[in-house]
Amino acid sequence: MAKPDDRSDNAAKLQEMARNTEENINEANDYLAAHAGEISAKERADIEAKNERRAESAEGFRSEIEDETSQ
């Protein structure tokens, strides 16, 4: 028998995912700042690209949170 679909805590889970994603962005930026002279241009570009994708994900989480809380 399938479990009932309980979405009561979706907004809280999405909020936690957004918070974790923002923390990852900040940690990557701190890494870039601390090791700017030690990393290659490719590594820097890779990290910056990943942070852009992370920012898009965080925005998507915030949008989903709005959807969940407006229902």
- What CA dihedral angle connects 43, 24, 9 and 7, to 10 degrees? -10
Q: Residues in the chain, how many? A: 71
What one-character DSSP code corresponds to residue 2?
P
CA angle in degrees (0–180, nearest 5) for 63-69-71? 110
Q: What is the pTM of this model?
A: 0.85
* Higher pLDDT among residues 11 and 7, named by residue: 11
Stretch 57-64: mean pLDDT: 96
pLDDT score of 2 more than 90:
no
Q: Is residue 49 part of a domain?
A: yes
Tell me which residue range forms the domain holding 54.
41-71
Q: Is residue 27 part of a domain?
A: no
pLDDT confidence band for 34 (50 / 70 / 90): very high
**CB neighbours (10 Å) of residue 2?**
4
Cα–Cα distance for residue pair 39/14, rounded to 1 Å: 33
Domain count of the fold of the chain: 1
